Amino acid sequence: MAERLYNRLLAIRSERGLTQAGLAELVGVSRKTINTVENGIFIPSTLLALKLARALGRPVEELFSLEPDQIGD
């Protein structure tokens, strides 16, 4: 079975009032990187996942999960 990574990046970014470009600026990556992670097209490296979590001030497991129901506040 194909595994996928669920993420709450869009929701948490919106909560923080950040645009994709704004978050990209904070993390030091391209807007495309944020877009592809949010849309589930691209699974980020551990390094990028940790950078995203740090930029948003949340633990990384709150941003990413293997099961959709594990993602929640």
Partner 1 sequence: MPQISDIELADRLSRRRARMLSALAILFLAGQAIYFSGPDVPTRNVDQLKVSAWLVWAIVLLVLLGTGGGLMRTGKVRALMEDEPTSANRLRAYSFGFWSASGTAVGLYIVSMFEPVSGREAIHLILTAAVAGALLMFGMLERRAHRDG
User: Taken in order 65, 67, 69, 70, is the CA torsion positive or negative?
Assistant: negative
Instruction: Point out which span in 1-9, 29-37, 54-62, 64-72 binds partner 1 (CB under 8 A).
Output: 29-37
Query: Per rule CB under 8 A, is residue 46 in the interface with partner 1?
Result: no
Q: Among residues 9, 13, 44, 55, which is the contact residue for partner 1, using CB under 8 A?
A: 44
Give residues in contact with partner 1 (CB under 8 A). Answer: 21, 24-25, 29-33, 35-36, 39, 41-42, 44-45, 48
